[in-house]
Amino acid sequence: MYLITIEGGDGSGKGLATQMIAEILEQEFTFAGVDITAEPRRDAELGLLAVQAVQTGEAGPIREAVYFAADRMDHSHTWIRPRLSKGHVVVSERNVHSSLVYQGIVGDLGIEEVAGMNAAAMIPDLCVWVDCDPEAALRRIEHGTLRLSTLGKQEYFETDEFQIKIRAGYHALLGGDIPMPSPFNQGRVVGPVINDGKKSDLRKKLQGEIRRFLHDRPVPLNVSTEEVDLHLLGRAMASQRGQTTLDVVESRPARSNLDWLDSRKPWEVVRDSTQMYIDAIQGTETPSRLDAPSDPLSHPVLAIVGTLSLLPGVEISELRSWLGPVRMVTDRHTRRMVKIFHEQSGWVRIHRPLVGSDASRSELRPDWQAFGRIGIALWPLKESLSKWRKSNPNSSWKHALKGIIGPRPAPERVEQLDACLSRLSLLGSGCSNTPSPSTRQELLEWWHNGAT
């Protein structure tokens, strides 16, 4: 979903930072995968042309830039984007900012010229700029793995004179003295992250930057969140294919992948479920409720209840992996919310194993499945539904969907409604005898009348 790039001069510690960031992402966040790569690619023909060009400097900045851009274009569309669309995060040691500095600034080609060569490549969502003293960088070049990567041949950039120019180029571009050229001015740049101490110090700095970026929930620049979430929802539904009834212990009636509305109307499900949630949150003084959102249509509530509505019993780690990057909730908050749902009228049942060391498994009660799946179906409209309710506290939920659509919906609203239709095409209408709505008018009819 996100492309995170690590930039800095030769020997600054980019490789170490890349590994650390990948570990942080795997340990703390819920991406479908964490993939590490680097540019130029030494296992691709186009990348090898770029590597060979910088070993002597004889190719000149124009040919160097062309080789790097060609490798980056191929890398972007055949390797990086397919992974982003599946909910992965890609961590790349070097990317377009290297070309902007090395060929655009140091090579005097001009950053606008280099940006134009790379305009169709993936745009880094986050660029982490790692920096260190040039003398320390040269020592790392001489004694580190960089020499091994080019089979012992010194790149012409690996000299005192060029390292000073390169460091100055990064400070000018990533430090903001030179405006970032379009389209790469859309991404976020953080740094310099100074690599001048212990590895633990560097990791702590990187951890802080990654947390700040992802907790802001930025809109990805190269893929849509809907594309990503639909892929992960499709995987979840496929994992249950062939099961008309989910295995939920002590549950009557059984949960169903087809008749999950249980002959109820969606607006009635939302009305009853949201009121039960509000009553439970407001009606207790238990400290564990303090972290619970007051809004039943909030991101954490719909993410957890909605995801559980798709799955049989799961451990917390499994639940978080199914949340994916779009419905992401922190590990701490996920555990708290599941505990709260368990305590509130048993919305979630936690199975504690009698023997062995298996972790507890959590599963959603059947009477909450409909609310969870409606929450997943109307996920693109959750903020709008919440705002409508706050503005119309005495109106019937029956009028909510029509109220936020209005007589002439804006293009953004049309896009959200179409996304809801795509989600319902995966989830089904909630009634095995009724097809999913395929038009905005049919979506309104489904909301009003259910699937009968």
3-state SS of the chain is CEEEEEECCCCCCHHHHHHHHHHHHHHHCCCCEEEEEECCCCCCHHHHHHHHHHHHCCCHHHHHHHHHHHHHHHHHHHHHHHHHHCCEEEEEECCHHHHHHHHHHHCCCCHHHHHHHCCCCCCCCEEEEEECCHHHHHHHHHHCCHHHHCCCCCCCCCCHHHHHHHHHHHHHHHCCCCCCCCCHHHCEEEEEEECCCCHHHHHHHHHHHHHHHHHCCCCCCCCCHHHHHHHHHHHHHHHCCCCCECCCCCCCCCCECCCCCCCCCHHHHHHHHHHHHHHHHHCCCCHHHHHCCCCCCCHHHHHHHHHHCCCCCECHHHHHHHHCCCCCCCHHHHHHHHHHHHHCCCCEEEECCCCCCCCCEEEECHHHHHHHHHHHHCHHHHHHHHHHHHHCCCCCHHHHHHHHHCCCCCHHHHHHHHHHHHHHHHHCCCCCCCCCCCCHHHHHHHHHHCCC
Between CA 306 and CA 401 the distance in angstroms is 19
Q: Which of 43-57, 65-79, 144-158, 307-321 is least confident?
A: 144-158
Confidence of residue 143 (pLDDT cuts 50, 70, 90): low
Which pLDDT tens digit goes with each residue over 306-320?
999 998 888 999 999
Collect all residues with Cβ–Cβ distance below 8 Å to 13 and sequence separation of at least 6: 130, 132, 140, 195, 202
Question: Is the pLDDT score of 301 beyond 50?
Answer: yes
Q: Which of 59-63, 113-117, 252-256, 390-394 shows the lowest per-residue confidence on average (mean pLDDT)?
A: 252-256
Q: Give me the pLDDT at residue 366, please.
A: 87
Q: Rounded to whole angstroms, how far apart are CA atoms 217 and 326?
A: 8
Q: Any idea which residue has 């060569």 for tokens? A: 117
Q: Return the domain boundaries, the chain.
A: 2-215, 225-449
376-403, pLDDT tens digit by residue? Answer: 999 999 999 999 999 999 999 999 999 9
The whole-chain average pLDDT of the chain stands at 87
pLDDT at 146: 42
Range in 221-235, 298-312, 358-372, 424-438 the model is least confident about: 358-372
pLDDT of residue 145: 44
- 186: tokens are 């859309």
Please work out, in degrees rounded to the nearest 5, the angle formed at the alpha carbon of residue 436 by the alpha carbons of 433 and 437. 130
Average pLDDT over every residue of 194-214: 94
- For the chain, report the end-to-end CA distance as a whole number of angstroms: 37
Position 207 confidence tier, pLDDT thresholds 50, 70, 90: very high
Rounded Cα–Cα distance for residues 305 and 292 (Å): 13
pLDDT surpasses 80 at 161: no
Q: Residue 10 has which token pair? A: 């030769």
Look at residue 354 in the predicted model and tell me its pLDDT: 58
Token couple for 278: 């509000």
pLDDT band at 73 (very low <50, low <70, confident <90, very high): very high
pLDDT of residue 323: 94
pLDDT band at 151 (very low <50, low <70, confident <90, very high): very low
Q: How far apart are CA 169 and CA 106, in angstroms?
A: 7
Fold classification of 2-215 (topology level): Rossmann fold (3.40.50)
Residue 151's φ and ψ, nearest 5 degrees, are 55, 40
The values of phi and psi at residue 179, to 5°, are -60, 135
Is the pLDDT at 140 greater than 90? The verdict is no
* Rounded-to-10 torsion of CA 351, 234, 218, 92: 100
Q: What is the pLDDT of residues 217-237, one digit of tens each?
A: 999 999 999 999 999 999 988
pLDDT at 173: 96
What is the structure's pLDDT at 148? 38
**pLDDT exceeds cutoff 70 at 251:** no
Region 249-271: mean pLDDT is 79
Which residue is associated with the tokens 């498994």?
361
Tell me the pTM: 0.87
